Structure 1
Amino acid sequence: MTNKMTQALEKFGSGSYLPSDVTVLLDIVVKDAVADVPVSQKEVLIQSGQRHYSDMLTLEQAPTAKHEQLYQQALEQGADRTASDIANLAYTLHDIFNEAIDDKQPLVLVSLVRAGLPIGVSLQRALTDTSSAYRLPSVHYGISIIRDRGLDTVALQMILSAYPNSPIVFVDGWTGKGAIYQELARSLELFNDMNHANFANIFHRGENVIPLLTLADPAGVAWLAASIDDWLIPSGLLNSTVSGLISRTLYTEPQLGLHRSVFYDNLVSIDHSLAFIDHIDAARQQLPTPPQRLPTFKQPRYQTAALIDELATYYRIDNRNRIKPTIAEATRAILRRDPERILLASADHQDTVLLRHLCKERDIAISVLGAKILPYQAITLIKQRMTES
């Protein structure tokens, strides 16, 4: 039965990654089947409650030459740190799971599409590196999670059916406020019962412990993270062109199938997805220092919750979804949403060069607040748009 189930999963693609890197459990639809909604109109629909953000898409455009240049600079600047973080995460997973798994029941990495994909693929490369000290039998899947609507339960059940005796670790790129952690926890409540058939697959670290792994965890909610810093993660500066050419996911009712996504075939010529993975993998193999065991946490600490509350009060923001903290999330919000202002900890930090460039390009106000917003280096505040201007 398991062989048939794993074979059934093989029909799904891997975006622009290699099939050995990841299997993305999404229903890929053509761009023409998706309404291309302008950002200003989308904001009105979202904030007025007429439409959920996961019901519509603003089709992605190619980054500008300046954006591409700043991504390349970020990659050169952050490649060694990313590689070291991946090695430390892989080493820690090996230390935790080495005695519990084998080739027949591998560790299952489940990346949360999209920000989790580059991290999950890099981690899968590290775990399958036979020359490393942390080689571990593992398989890697990408599935959708959507705020307010949860994890794609159809995709998750497909994985559980294919690997009934394997532990699952969920992978994301970073945490902002901890909203995706909370969404994940809500989606997994059904399994958080020791009598559930799949309890051990998900709650292998104990009851109520959500096995979420991230590269950076400023919000303090991850079970395992390489650091709690808000830093310039290179893969956070681009959208689909560093995430397998896959769009942000669109919601589908469970009875109708998998969550949907668009594959941006028009951006193939400027895709960095595989180049990013290869670059980080090469850097990882040349690291001069041995990997380190990272700490794990059974419960979230929510170390920035009070700060988010203070910002919401000061800027009179009722909906916390309009607050987008971390360099990566602040940058993506400028590219995909309608920002009102950007908050920075420093006026000239090297990690916010792209952010400041985009603000100048779009005439977006910047407020430098210093240590008041730490540990975040940047936060985007989305404009309140109940009616279109």
Structure 2
Amino acid sequence: MNKDNPAISPVDQATKIAQLARYGSGSYLASDVIVLLDIVNKEAIADVPVSQKEALIQNGQRHYSDMLTLESAPTAMHEQLYAQALTQGTQRTATDIANLAYSLHDIFYQSITNKNPLVLISLVRAGLPVGVLLQRALADTNSAYNLPSVHYGISIIRDRGLDPVALKMLLEAYPNSPIVFVDGWTGKGAIYQELASSLASFNHPTDMNFANFFHQGLSVVPLLTLADPAGVAWLAASTDDWLIPSGLLNSTVSGLISRSLYTEPQYGLHRSIFYDNLVEVDHSLAFIDHIDMARQQLTVLPVALATFGQPRYQTAALIDELAIKYDISNRNRIKPTIAEATRAILRRDPECVLLATADHPDTLLLRHLCAQRDINIEVLGVKILPYQAITLIKQRNTTADN
């Protein structure tokens, strides 16, 4: 972070920021976020059935980020369970956002300005709703945590990292700003590791962008999450595995944006599609408005949360035990947390679902989907805590396990 770098004129910087504004915001407001993705026509993307996609992934023929199974509108039951989760989780989500915003204010208020704002980078897609809520909170001049900030969404893909083209664009537009990465939750910590790997080349005090990323110290990756069961985030509202409402839906709570598709850096930004056919069932803005209003009406004072310099990997031993017990050689087939377990059922080909409790209210949708698809459930009790749910992906190939 080159504080007031004289080599970068205000005119040049303003031009670069204006160029970023050409990109869309999905179904969010332009003031909420700019998503640095190349939005392509969905008719140009092959719609690969789940079973075929699973086989291609596991036999090593295709990477998951090269394929997409197009989303359908959620069922009436799915919508009903989302509505219940929203009712149940509104106060907690609002309180967690307020505490995260207050913590960011506490850390950065002395070092950032309107000229050099805090840059929030949400990891597409699960990070988008959290990032938008944080951007709204930080922009609230009536709050105790108002802070100059801007918010962008960029792609991160397992095994392939952060989109380097998008990252370069942001560094050029905000050369003197600290960056914080935002995600919804952590499962095993794989995305944290991907993020750390993508930032490794900047992790030296002599690098011109060192302070943009490592403003909290050498090797401290500034990842913020709403929930951090894996124990890898720098800043998180909790380490609980709970029913985050935005974790129950896909594009219809994430700006109608699809999961990102990989693009070689020489060809531009990672790609995505916009689900214009799902506009009538989109909850993205309604979710943001609902939680943001609840945040504004909170009567309890926000608190500064603890930060961590290095990951604790508090569930690594549990993941290892499950891999041995179920003869899984690749941890990518293990999808922990309620949100990831639910998404895996919707997007992948599951073998079974592990639950801590047979009738926990937070796993109602998960159990409904299992019944609908005749997926076996095993109740393992405290053995899988802090996770409430884990989906194990079916092995489709005996010679490869991806």
Report TM bin, short chain: over 0.9
Q: Hey, what does 1:15 align to over in structure 2?
A: 26
Deviations 1:27-82 (A, max 9, x none): 00011110100000000000000000000100001100000000000000001000
Q: Secondary structure at the match of 2:249?
A: coil
Deviations 1:64-105 (A, max 9, x none): 000000000000000100000000000000000000001000
Displacement of 1:347: 0.2
State whether structure 2 residue 274 is matched by structure 1 residue 263: yes
Q: Which amino acid aligns with 1:89?
A: L
In 2: Cα distance, 1:386 partner to 1:62 partner:
30
In 2: Cα distance, 1:335 partner to 1:141 partner:
27
Q: Hey, what does 1:247 align to over in structure 2?
A: 258
State whether structure 2 residue 82 is matched by structure 1 residue 41: no
Q: Hey, what does 1:200 align to over in structure 2?
A: 211
State whether structure 2 residue 195 is matched by structure 1 residue 171: no
| Equivalences for residues 190-229 of structure 1 within 5 A | 190-229=201-240
**Which of structure 1's runs of 4+ aligned residues deviate more than 6 A?**
none
Q: Hey, what does 2:112 align to over in structure 1?
A: 101
In 2: Cα distance, 1:72 partner to 1:282 partner:
17
In 1: Cα distance, 2:296 partner to 2:123 partner:
25
Q: Hey, what does 1:125 align to over in structure 2?
A: 136
Q: Which amino acid aligns with 1:96?
A: I
The runs of 5 or more residues in structure 2 that have no matched partner are 1-11
Q: Hey, what does 2:197 align to over in structure 1?
A: 186
Q: Which amino acid aligns with 1:122?
A: L
State whether structure 2 residue 284 is matched by structure 1 residue 273: yes
Query: What's the TM-score once normalised by structure 1's chain length?
Result: 0.99
1:52 to 49, 52, 63: 63
Q: Which amino acid aligns with 1:367?
A: E
In 2: Cα distance, 1:10 partner to 1:142 partner:
12
State whether structure 2 residue 14 is matched by structure 1 residue 3: yes
Q: Hey, what does 1:141 align to over in structure 2?
A: 152
Displacement of 1:288: 1.6
1:377 to 379, 388, 397: 388
Q: Which amino acid aligns with 1:325?
A: P
Q: Hey, what does 2:352 align to over in structure 1?
A: 341
Query: What's the TM-score once normalised by structure 2's chain length?
Result: 0.96
Displacement of 1:280: 0.4
In 2: Cα distance, 1:79 partner to 1:263 partner:
27
Q: Secondary structure at the match of 1:169?
A: strand
In 2: Cα distance, 1:61 partner to 1:336 partner:
11
State whether structure 2 residue 307 is matched by structure 1 residue 296: yes
In 1: Cα distance, 2:90 partner to 2:126 partner:
17
Displacement of 1:19: 0.1
Q: Which amino acid aligns with 2:307?
A: T
Q: Secondary structure at the match of 1:62?
A: coil
Q: Hey, what does 2:330 align to over in structure 1?
A: 319
In 2: Cα distance, 1:138 partner to 1:302 partner:
30
Q: Hey, what does 1:162 align to over in structure 2?
A: 173
Q: Which amino acid aligns with 1:37?
A: V
In 2: Cα distance, 1:311 partner to 1:386 partner:
19
In 1: Cα distance, 2:145 partner to 2:197 partner:
32
Q: Secondary structure at the match of 1:112?
A: strand
For the aligned residues, what is the CA RMSD? Answer: 0.5
Displacement of 1:386: 1.8
In 2: Cα distance, 1:4 partner to 1:196 partner:
24
Deviations 1:111-132 (A, max 9, x none): 0000000000000000000110
Q: Hey, what does 1:115 align to over in structure 2?
A: 126
Q: Hey, what does 1:366 align to over in structure 2?
A: 377
Deviations 1:285-322 (A, max 9, x none): 11120001100000000000000000000000011000
Displacement of 1:135: 0.1
Q: Which amino acid aligns with 1:179?
A: A
In 2: Cα distance, 1:370 partner to 1:315 partner:
17
The runs of 5 or more residues in structure 1 that have no matched partner are none
In 2: Cα distance, 1:79 partner to 1:138 partner:
24
In 2: Cα distance, 1:97 partner to 1:297 partner:
16
Q: Which amino acid aligns with 2:41?
A: V
Deviations 1:225-269 (A, max 9, x none): 000000000000000000000000000001110000010000000
Q: Which amino acid aligns with 2:246?
A: S
Q: Which amino acid aligns with 1:338?
A: D
Deviations 1:116-155 (A, max 9, x none): 0000000000000011010000000000000000000100
**How many residue pairs get matched?**
387
Percent of pairs identical after alignment?
A: 78
Q: Which amino acid aligns with 1:204?
A: H
